[in-house]
Amino acid sequence: MIIEVTWRELGIDRDGTRFIDDGRDRTDRRFKGKTKFEPLSDYTVVDLETTGLNPAYNEIIEIGAIRVRDNQEVARYQTLIKPEEKISPFIEQLTGISNEMVENEAPFIEVIPSFLEFLGSDVVVGHNVHFDVNFLYDQSARNGIRFTNNCMDTMRLAKFLFKGFRNYRLRTLVREFKFAKKTEHRAMSDAFLTFQCYEHMLRHAKDAGVIIKPLDSRGIGLLAKDILPAGGLEDPDCALFGQVCVFTGTLERMTRRQAMQLVVDRGGKVADSVTQSVDYLIMGNTDYRKVKDGKSSKLRKAEKMQLEGHDIEIIPEDEFYEILSVERNSDASAS
C-alpha cells in the first residue's frame, strides 16, 4: 500500500539540534514507533551507514543488525545498499564504503523487505537510535513501506546511568567500559559494540540496584519546584538566562525533566503552567509540526496571551536546543 505523506525539508544534523525549513518536502513520521526506556532481553540492535546526515536528502548504504534473545546474540543481518546518489569522498573515507563496493548491490527497495522480515516486531536498540530510525522510516515511506518499530536509545540510557562522562558517543562508552574493540563506522561492527554497551549497562544497573523503568517524557507528575540548579553552569549570555520556560508535548531527544534541568542549570527558570510571568513556551517537535490536529491547553493559553500583547514566545524543541547551545554528544556520522 502506498502511504500518502506530506513532505517538508527538515534541515537537521544527526542529533536533531537544528530545524531549518527551506520549503522542501519531508515525512511527518505520523506512524513512527514509540521510544522505550526499559531493560529488554529480546530486541534487535541496528546500525546504519548513510551518504549523509539528513534523511530528506541522503540514503542508507549499509545495514547491520543483531537479533538478541534472552540477552544473547542469536542471528545477524548485514548488507550493503546501492544508493541513487554517489557516495562522497568524505563518506568513502569515513566508512570505507566506496561507490565501487555498492555498484552491484541491490537498491533499498529490494533490500528493505528482507530486513523487515529479519527485524519482525522487535524493539530497535541503537546508539542515538532516532538517527537510524528516522532514516529507516523516511526511506521506507518514500518506497510506500511503513516502518513502525519501537526503539530504545543506548545513549539516553548511558546518560541516565553514568554521570560525568566527557560525552556519550559510542566510542566514548567503548573506552569507558574498557572494551578492546574500537568503533569503525561500519554498520555491523558498531551494532555489535552497541549490543555490548547495552548489555553492560543492564548488568551495571542490576548490580548497582538501579531500576530502569519507563519514563513519561511528557513530564506527568513532574513539578518545576523539584528542578534545582546544579550550580556553576549559569550562562548570562544565554537567551534563556533569567527567563521563565514552560514545556508542552513530548520531547524527541530527552525527557522533560532533562530539558528543564538544562534551563535551570543555565540560569533560567521553569514553571508548570502558562502565566503572565512566562517568557517561553517550548513545544515538542512532533506537537509543533502537528498543531492543526489539536492544541494543548498551554498552547491555547500562550496564543491567547500573544494576541493580548503579552511578550511570550512559542518555540519548537529544536530551537530550544539551539538557544542553549546543547553539546552534540553524537558522532558526526552514523554511530
* Residue at 30: amino acid letter: R
| Separation in Å, CA 290 to CA 10, 27, 294 | 14, 12, 8
Beta-bridge partners for 313: 280
Please identify every residue annotated as catalytic. 185
In angstroms, the CA 334 to CA 105 distance is 20
Q: Which three cell numbers stand for residue 136?
A: 529507516
Q: Which three cell numbers stand for residue 109?
A: 527497495
Nearest of 47, 49, 196 to residue 126 by alpha carbon: 47
Nearest of 119, 122, 188, 115 to residue 151 by alpha carbon: 122
Which 8-state DSSP code applies to residue 291?
G
Cα atoms in the 13 Å half-sphere on the side-chain side of 327: 8
Per-residue three-class SS string for 145-166: CCCCCCEEEHHHHHHHHCCCCC
CA 133 to chain centre: 8
In angstroms, the CA 279 to CA 282 distance is 10
